[in-house]
């Protein structure tokens, strides 16, 4: 799962959907459990997750923009 997040730069939600598990499980696995297994990999995943978190407001704004531009086209 950690390699998938690193390779795809996917979000916790995206990884959860891909692997069919909850977001909480993904977050706990890559944030806590992975630290005890492979600290270097955990740090790399944390970097991706922090980057995704920093960009979250931008993706939300773009989704809203797309939603309303589609509604205006239909009218």
Q: Please, are residues 7 and 26 in contact by the beta-carbon 8 Å criterion? A: no
State residue 64's pLDDT score.
84
pLDDT at residue 60, as a whole number:
76
Supply the pLDDT for residue 69.
81
Residue whose entry in the numeric block shows the structure tokens 């630290």: 35
Is residue 54 pLDDT above 80, yes or no? yes
Q: How confident is the model at residue 65 (pLDDT cuts 50, 70, 90)?
A: confident
HSE-up of residue 43 (Cα within 13 Å, Cβ side): 3
Q: Cα separation of 61 and 2, whole Å?
A: 27
User: For residue range 13-33, what is the model confidence (pLDDT) as tens digits?
Assistant: 999 999 999 999 999 999 999
Compute the distance between CA of residue 59 and CA of residue 75 in angstroms, rounded to an integer.
25
Of the two residues 47 and 66, the one the predictor is more confident about is 47
């Amino acid at each position: 799962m950690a390699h998938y997040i690193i390779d795809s730069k996917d979000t916790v939600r995206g990884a959860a959907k891909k692997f069919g598990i909850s977001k909480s499980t993904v977050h706990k696995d890559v944030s806590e459990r992975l630290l005890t297994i492979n600290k270097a990999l955990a740090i790399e995943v944390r970097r991706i997750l922090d980057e995704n978190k920093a960009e979250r407001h931008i993706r939300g704004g773009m989704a809203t923009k797309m939603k309303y531009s589609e509604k205006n086209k239909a009218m």
